[in-house]
Structure 1
Amino acid sequence: MNQDQNVLQQTHRKRNYKPAIIIITIIINGLVALLAGLPGVDNFTAFDVKILPMLNAIFNTFTFLFLVGALVAILKKNVTVHRRFIYAAFITTTLFLVTYVGHHFLSESTAYGGTGFIAGVYYFILITHIILAAIIVPLALTSVARAWNMENERHRKIARWTMPIWLYVSLTGVIVYIMISPYY
């Protein structure tokens, strides 16, 4: 660590983000769980809600690409570029969440129509995606909070888990969309 970073780290006031992380995690995961059980809005005609799953996949694709960019940047020790890619990933993840919640609020869930081995693959990907998507919320928020607090070693330790899980969740979100899109 150079002298400027050392001075900045010593003078930086650490904030306690834990309550916010807990509240945001409960709200996001609770909202998604609640929407999974709702039937959708009857006779919604303002726009074709079938476009929302495609937007979800697009946002997940950008999140995946931004995370790969962040990973490459940090491996090259370019913290500034890494940070920008992470912020971009948070933006596209937030846009994904908005379109995901909108779609599940406005329409019924779509049943997967595949059978046999491919159905097993689909459900394995879907179930692991759902579980890890719930887990990634507090992991990603904690990772960024530790970076903001300049807790670099603690940030690295959690980011080693956060990055591959977030990459998996964003990639499998696209795969789930591709596999279920014929049934919309």
Structure 2
Amino acid sequence: MEDLALKERKFNRLITIVSIVVPLVVAILFGVKIDGVERMGFLPPIYATINGLTAILLIAAIMAIKNGNQSLHQKLMTSCIGLSLVFLILYIIYHMTSESTSYGGDGILKYLYFIILISHIILSIVVIPLVLKTYAKGYLGKYESHRKFAKITFPIWLYVAISGVVVYLMISPYYIN
């Protein structure tokens, strides 16, 4: 049987690869447009809903672990990772079939929108290795280390989930159907 240190090294290698490849692939696919495919304008409210559901499940997962329910915590966190993956797939599909929507507001709201959007994008990249590392620590039973990572990961992931909904709500009046 593999020892814990070897398993952790394998996880770390995979986490590093995923943390580099995912943002690169998203950036590349963002520039790819599929011709002849109907615009998928129905997707933004779906992936905004997924972000909102992720935020709710993250909070529920924290409540579960604070109440000593490790099994429920693990199921909820695994669900959050699954939802994030579904979000990513739908987000890529939307941007490969549709032109980006520009924010049409002005004044202070425009600046606020861009501050939220830019911080959301940057933190959505930063959170990938944090989520995977935190999850791996829990999976490997390294609970003290898991808790230390979770104290950093949780607020960032929650911000990304909530700010995704806020960005959608702010830009939704400007979507072209």
Other structure's SS at 2:14 match = helix
- Cα distance in 2, alignment partners of residues 120 and 35 from structure 1: 27
* TM-score, normalisation: structure 1: 0.88
CA contact (8 A) 1:67 1:89 kept: yes
**Alpha-carbon displacement from aligned partner over 1:31-55 (angstroms, at most 9, x marks no partner):** 222234x16233422xx41111111
**Alpha-carbon displacement from aligned partner over 1:107-141 (angstroms, at most 9, x marks no partner):** 11111111101001100100110010000000000
Other structure's SS at 1:50 match = coil
- Cα distance in 1, alignment partners of residues 64 and 2 from structure 2: 24
Task: Select the residue among 15, 24, 42 that pairs with 1:30.
Answer: 24
Aligned length: 171
Do structure 1's residue 18 and structure 2's residue 12 form an aligned pair? yes
Q: CA RMSD in A?
A: 1.6
- Cα distance in 2, alignment partners of residues 49 and 182 from structure 1: 16
Alignment of 1:61-140 (within 5 A): 61-140=52-131
Do structure 1's residue 42 and structure 2's residue 45 form an aligned pair? no
> Deviation of residue 12 (structure 1)?
8.4
Query: Where in structure 1 are there 5+ consecutive unaligned residues?
Result: 1-10
Equivalent AA in structure 2 for residue 89 of structure 1: C
Identity %: 37
Do structure 1's residue 57 and structure 2's residue 51 form an aligned pair? no
Which residue in 2 is equivalent to 1:3?
Answer: none
Give 1 or 2 for the bigger CA radius of gyration: 1
- Cα distance in 1, alignment partners of residues 141 and 108 from structure 2: 47
Q: In 2 relative to 1, CA 134–21 (structure 1 residues): closer, same or farther, beyond 3 Å?
A: same
Q: In 2 relative to 1, CA 144–171 (structure 1 residues): closer, same or farther, beyond 3 Å?
A: same
CA contact (8 A) 1:39 1:107 kept: no
> Deviation of residue 89 (structure 1)?
0.6
Alignment of 1:133-148 (within 5 A): 133-148=124-139
CA contact (8 A) 1:12 1:149 kept: no
Which residue in 1 is equivalent to 2:168?
Answer: 177
